[in-house]
Amino acid sequence: MIELDGVGVTYHGAATPALSGVDLRIEEGELCLVVGRTGSGKSTLLRTINGLVPHFTGGTLHGRVTVDGRDTADHPPRELADVVGVVGQDPRAGFVTDVVEEELAYGMESLGLAPEVMRRRVEETLDLLGLADLRARPLDTLSGGERQRVAIGSVLTTHPRVLVLDEPTSALDPPAAEEVLATLHRLVHDLGLTVLLAEHRLERVVPFADRIVYLPGGGAAIEVGSPAEVMATSPIAPPIVELGRLAGWSPLPLTIRDARRRAAGLRRDLADLPTPTRAVVPVTDAPPVLRTARLAISYGRTVALRGVDVAVAAGEVVAVMGRNGAGKSTLLRAWTGLLAPDRGLVTVAGHDPVRLSPAELVRHVALVPQEPGDLLYAETVAAECDAADRDAGLPSGSCAALLEGLVPGLDPDRHPRDLSEGQRLALVLAIQLISDPPVVLLDEPTRGLDYTAKRRLVALLRRLAAEGRAVVLATHDVELVAAVASRTVVLADGEVVVDGPTSEVVVGSPAFAPQIAKVVAPLPWLTVDEVSASLEVAS
Amino acid sequence: MTRRSPPPPRALHPGAWWLWALGLATAASRTTNPWLLLLVLAVAGHVVTARRSDAPWARSFVVFLKLGLVVIAIRVVAQSLFGTATPGTVLVDLPEVGLPAWAAGVSLGGPITDTALAAALVDGLRLATMLACIGAANALANPKRLLATVPAALYEVGVAVVVALSFAPSMVTSVQRIRAARRLRGRPDRGLRSILTVAMPVLEDALERSLALAAAMDSRGYGRRATVPVRTRRLTTTLTLLGLGGTLVGLYGLLDGTGPAALGLPTLLLGIVVAAASLRSAGAGVTRTRYRPDPWIGSEWLTAAAGVTAAAGTIATSLTAPGALDPAPWPLLAVPLPPAATVGILLALLPAWLTPPPVMVTAARRQPRRRPDRTVEPPATSVSPSSEVAA
């Protein structure tokens, strides 16, 4: 179905190729997963499939890409629209119309299909993806999972043979991600569609893949094989694979079910060991650093928070979880004074954040927003650091030194937009931490981070907490929560549903339990590191 | 069946509402009779309340009404300050400012008479009424569906406008996001300087979004075309120019009413026919089809006809009793109500009852508030989760 022969891509002005020497054949009806670090060329590979690279992006393509017998060299993306459907990471960016039904029809209109055919296919697609109830809904009222399914539906109506998805679940909460993946699984199995998928959250997608393409990046040759083969050696792997490696299982387990059946012995061993100790904040009489009491906030007619009581002490790492739109970001924004409460009380280190001037605010609280890039204005990393020093009234070089501690060896002359997601996050954190605030808030920090960057983030967050700062994360990433949070607050519909120690909150929840917890349940181990530490102590 | 059941809710063809509104606006443009103008306003207002949906654009009528009030105010102020003296009872005598000789004919200040004020009010009212008619069309017709009805040749322009329309709200959110970010960096988030410094990031944001959208549209087949011979293209260009020129001249003749009669309706109709032919010829290169186009059936004919009737009534009056359209506006009770124009405008009320009711989108989805708002209770004195965690 898809053939790549010696494909290499070099963008204009780039010193090194983004992709080189890729030979790949993907058969019909295969679900092929593309994995690799940030910047290893995953998106570039996906974009060559429908000719966006090089027709749209520019640059030079070496070798040959054929899809269903059509060479992308002489077929621009629009001429491949009836063969390849492409869904991006943020479906909103690709919506052309404003209502579900019209969005589904848009591609067919461009292809000039007859009205009867369009009508029939829209109805079929609505049923296939379970969107029938949403047909008349405006696109901006949909939830994240619904939006992603509409985006998939909108490319399916042209009856493509190949579906290409770039990080389709990155921005989704766990239930919505499962919804989307179940849809993809069904498309592959019922319709024989060929799916090419890139994703950072391997724990979500590895069980669904028939084959994995590993892009090591930096010009090294790609590895292609069955998931078990590739995962055996891949430096990026989901937690159950790491558990399998630790326990020496072969072949490696790829699903929770496999791992659980293998883990009977492991569970017996662990049951006799003391339960892992998680960082616990000492009892003090000091008032909490962050507090809300009966906090209610609404945007016009939509109620975002209704009566939320949360308090966070110094040295705690608290995770705020919940569906998209449950009020997580609103809570963080209230603590930075970006939103004034309708009712109730918000305090940060004893101050009302709404009344703090921006200059005072940064001394009390740091927030890394969902788009860290919003905080960056300068042309280079060095200029950004100097500006931060000036803002804080500190000697030049303070911020650069702090940044060096977070990510060593970052080139100060690079443009902030050219940094990887992880590096940009570190830069924003460095800028924010320069005024030494006692509170650090992070909104969805692991979006776009690969496992290596995530591990670095975990170490960093632990260090911040150990320095006596209160850290709050709003996140969908259950593995991050398991690794770092001492306490978890689950919001639903603007209310606190659960507030308790992470090990208790996530173990019982089918949606929020990390993979290791699912494997060793009911024992309270949450991460591979905890398991390996316990086993080491025992031996 | 002895009694006709009410038609099921359905959005009327946007073109029908626009024809209706333009008919009313034409009626308003040809008269300064305050009663007729108020009647047009009332008719437009009633139909809007009866037949608008709950979509965001449906609220635009009020905006246009407010704009109308501003227009009236400006007109009156301008008349009071710069207007030349007219006979009548002097209401206020403003001090007159002497102007240099080159500004002869313009006076600043001076006496304000009741007739001058009334004329200014009525003139402002006429403009405001026309604005209200446009506002009514805006509130009643889905702008995106209207663009979807443009001929195939104008399809790409239509898409550009749709994309621009959806960009405006996302620009607003992006400005809010980036201003919020300034606050997070400890820089002032208010004042002119802060607005200027967010301009660059906002532009970058918009540029990135439009690139993403362009890539998505390209991947979905936007811009596929058939090949068109050169002769057809030349014919299209000629027809387009002729058609547009004819339509403009015709419209001017129709609205102005002082020119020769041949310059009005006949030229307009001819222009429209030529323009339609040019669009048809240009559409030959477009392979695109349309999904579920809005039908044009009974209700649409009726709505369009109601608008045409309003215009026709006024035009009929202008032929038979031109004085009744431009009476002395003062005293109000002495102003006559010409029958043809009145009936024509009143007939434009019919769509309020005879068209299908609008489709409500959000009403069904709106969640009931789970808790009634109560008075603010004093916050708890201390909340200590840390002890819970430690326990």
Give the minimum alpha-carbon distance from A388 to chain B in angstroms, rounded to a whole number. Answer: 8
Domain-embedded: residue A382: yes
Q: Report the pLDDT value the prediction gives residue B362, as an integer from 0 to 100.
A: 57
| pLDDT bracket for residue B144 (50, 70, 90) | confident
Whether residue A107 and residue B220 make contact (CB cut-off 8 A), yes or no, is yes
pTM of the model: 0.76
pLDDT of res. B80: 82
Instruction: Give yes or no for residue B115 having a pLDDT over 90.
Output: no
Q: First and final CA of chain A: distance in angstroms?
A: 52
Choose from B39-53, B280-294, B357-371 the range with maximum mean pLDDT. B39-53
Number of A to B CB contacts under 8 A, please give it: 213
Q: Which of B288, B371, B389 sits opposite A501 (nearest CB)?
A: B389
Could you tell me if residue A523 is inside a domain? Answer: no
Residues of A in contact with B177 (CB under 8 A): 369, 371, 374
Q: Is B143's pLDDT higher than 60? A: yes
Cβ–Cβ gap B180/A338 under 8 Å? yes
CB pair distance less than 8 Å for A81 and B181: no
Asked if B209 reaches chain A (Cβ–Cβ under 8 Å), the answer is yes
Tell me the residue type at A13: G
Contact between A96 and B163 using a beta-carbon 8 Å cutoff: yes
Helical packing angle, B114-140 and B34-51, nearest 10° = 20
| Same domain for A315 and A183 | no
Identity of the residue in A77, A306, A363 whose CB atom sits nearest the CB atom of B219 = A77
Residue of B182, B386, B387, B388 to mutate for A, most A C-beta atoms under 10 A = B386
Residues A103 and A29 grouped into a single domain: yes
Of B163, B369, B377, which is closest to A294 when you measure between CB atoms? B377
B223 at A interface, C-beta within 8 A: yes
B391 to chain A, minimum CA–CA distance in Å?
Answer: 9
Tens-digit pLDDT profile for residues B43-95:
999 999 999 887 777 888 898 999 999 999 999 888 888 776 677 777 777 77
CB–CB of A487 and B186 under 8 A? no
On the question of pLDDT at B190 being above 80, the answer is no
CB spacing of B221 vs A154 below 8 angstroms: no
What are the residues whose beta carbons fall under 8 Å from the beta carbon of A510, sequence distance 6 or more?
A: none
pLDDT (mean) for A296-318? 88
Residues A66 and A177 in one domain: yes
Q: Does A488 touch chain B (CB under 8 A)?
A: no
Instruction: Please tell me the distance from the alpha carbon of residue B20 to that of residue B344, in angstroms, as a whole number.
Output: 12
Residue A452 near chain B (CB below 8 Å): no
What part of B 131-190 touches A (C-beta under 8 Å)?
144, 159, 162-163, 166, 177-178, 180-189
Between A96-110, B102-116, B325-339, the lowest mean confidence (pLDDT) is in B102-116
Q: Considering only the beta carbons, identify the residue of A77, A288, A294 that sits closest to B385.
A: A288
pLDDT at A225: 92
Q: How many CB atoms lie within 10 A of CB A360?
A: 14
> Which of A295, A338, A335 has the alpha carbon at shortest distance from A470?
A335
Q: Do residue A94 and residue B389 have CB atoms under 8 angstroms apart?
A: no
Is A517 a domain residue? no
Would you put residue A284 in left (φ > 0), alpha (ψ -120 to 50) or beta? beta
Instruction: Let me know whether A215 and A348 are in one domain.
Output: no
By percentage, how much of chain A surpasses pLDDT 70? 98
Query: Which of A50, A78, A309, A488 has the highest number of chain B CBs within 10 A, making it the mutation to test binding with B?
Result: A78
Domain that holds residue A87: 2-237
Q: Residue B295 has what pLDDT?
A: 85
Backbone angles phi, psi at A202, to 5 degrees: -60, -35
pLDDT for position A282: 56
* DSSP annotation of A443: E
Question: Is A518 among the domain residues?
Answer: no
Full DSSP string of A343-365: EEEEEETTB-GGGS-HHHHHHHE
Q: Chain B, 335-364: which have a CB under 8 Å from a chain A CB?
A: 359, 361-362
CA distance B197 to chain A (A): 9
**Placement of tokens 């009508």 in the chain:** A119
Q: What is the pLDDT of residue B259?
A: 67
Of the candidates A115, A307, A343, the beta carbon closest to that of B289 is on A115
Pick B143 or A303 by higher pLDDT: A303
Measured from the Cβ of residue B241, the count of other Cβ atoms closer than 10 Å reads: 13
Confidence of residue B368 (pLDDT cuts 50, 70, 90): very low
Distance from the B384 Cα atom to the nearest Cα atom in chain A, whole angstroms: 7
How far does the CA of residue A482 sit from the closest CA of chain B (Å)?
Answer: 15
Percent of chain B whose pLDDT exceeds 90: 21
Whether A307 and A444 share a structural domain: yes
- Summarised one tens digit per residue, pLDDT across range A316-333 is 899 999 888 788 989 998
Which chain A residues are within 8 Å of B382, Cβ to Cβ?
A: 287
- The two tokens of residue B31 are 């008269």
Specify the pLDDT at position A506: 85
Q: At what angle do helices A115-128 and A144-156 cross, to 10 degrees?
A: 140
Q: Which of B357, B355, B270 is nearest to B304 (CA)?
A: B355
- Neighbouring residues of A225: CB distance < 8 A, sequence distance ≥ 6: A211, A212
CA distance A92 to A70: 29
Which of chain A's residues have a Cβ under 8 Å away from the Cβ of B223?
Answer: 78, 110
Please indicate if any CB of chain B lies within 8 Å of the CB of A338: yes
Residues A372 and A437 in one domain: yes
Give the per-residue pLDDT at B103: 66
Domain positions in chain B: 14-98+107-225+296-359, 228-285
The neighbouring-strand residues paired with A262 are: none
Residues of B within 8 A of A84 (CB-CB) are: 219
Nearest to A283 among B361, B377, B387 (CB): B387
* Tokens 């919506």 sit on residue: A95
Asked whether the predicted pLDDT for residue B376 surpasses 60, the reply is no
CB count in 10 Å sphere of residue A74: 8
pLDDT, averaged across chain B: 79
What integer pLDDT is reported at residue B328 of this predicted model? 78
Same domain, A110 and A10: yes
**Closest in A110, A136, A391 to B185, CB measured:** A391
pLDDT tens for each residue of A239-256: 999 999 999 888 889 999
Residues of B with Cβ-Cβ distance to A283 under 8 angstroms: 386-387, 390
Select the residue from A283, A308, A374, A435 to test the B interface by mutation, using most B Cβ atoms within 10 A: A374
Domains: count for chain A: 2
What would the pLDDT profile of A168-194 be if each residue is shown by its tens digit? Answer: 888 788 888 888 899 899 889 988 999
Could you tell me which residues come within 8 angstroms of residue A72 by beta carbon, excluding any fewer than 6 positions away?
A48, A49, A50, A51, A55, A61, A65, A66, A80
For residue A259, the distance in angstroms to the closest alpha carbon of chain B comes to 31
Length of chain B, in residues: 391
For B358-378, what is the mean pLDDT? 48
Contacts of B181 in chain A (CB under 8 A): 369, 374-375
Interface check for A217 against chain B (CB to CB < 8 A): the answer is no
Of residues A55, A112, A316, nearest to B389 (C-beta): A316
Give mean pLDDT, residues B233-244.
84
Q: Contacts of residue A487 in chain B, CB cutoff 8 Å?
A: 385, 389
The H or E element that residue A5 is part of is strand A2-10
Domain match, A160 and A13 both: yes
- Neighbour-count burial of A525, counting CB atoms closer than 10 A to its CB (0-12 exposed, 13-18 middle, 19+ buried): buried
Q: Which of B291, B361, B390 sits opposite A115 (nearest CB)?
A: B291
pLDDT value of residue B379:
40
**Minimal C-alpha gap between A234 and chain B (Å):** 31
List Cα–Cα distances, B197 to A362, A417, B200, B201, in angstroms. 19, 17, 6, 8
- H/E/C letters for each residue in chain B? CCCCCCCCCCCCCHHHHHHHHHHHHHHHHCCCCHHHHHHHHHHHHHHHHHHCCCCHHHHHHHHHHHHHHHHHHHHHHHHHHHCCCCCCCEEEEEEEECCCHHHCCCCEEEEEEHHHHHHHHHHHHHHHHHHHHHHHHHHHCCHHHHHHCCCHHHHHHHHHHHHHHHHHHHHHHHHHHHHHHHHHCCCCCCCHHHHHHHHHHHHHHHHHHHHHHHHHHHHCCCCCECCCCHHHHHHHHHHHHHHHHHHHHHHHHHHHCCCCHHHCHHHHHHHHHHHHHHHHHHHHHECCCCCCCCCCCHHHHHHHHHHHHHHHHHHHHHHHCHHHCCCCCCCHHHCCCCHHHHHHHHHCCCHHHHCCCCCCCCCCCCCCCCCCCCCCCCCCCCCCHHHHHHC
Report the distance separating Cα A80 and Cα A350, nearest Å. 60
Q: What angle do CA A138, A139, A144 make, to 5 degrees?
A: 135
Provide the edge-to-edge strand list for the sheet that holds A302-312. A302-312, A290-299, A343-348
| Cβ separation B218–A56 shorter than 8 A | yes
Whether A70 is covered by a domain: the verdict is: yes
Report the sign of the C-alpha dihedral through residues A109, A113, A119, A122, in that order: negative
pLDDT tens digit sequence for B246-289: 888 888 877 776 767 667 778 888 888 888 888 777 777 667 77
Are A476 and A442 a contacting pair, CB within 8 Å? no
Provide the pLDDT confidence category of residue A410 given band limits of 50, 70 and 90.
confident
Of the spans A224-228, A405-409, B213-217, which averages the highest pLDDT?
A224-228
A154, A84, A82: which is closest to A122 by C-alpha? A154
Model confidence pLDDT, tens digit, residues A130-166: 888 888 888 877 877 888 889 999 999 999 999 999 9
- For the record, the structure tokens of B329 come out as 């506006």
Q: Is B243 exposed, middle or buried, given 0-12, 13-18 or 19+ CB atoms closer than 10 A?
A: buried
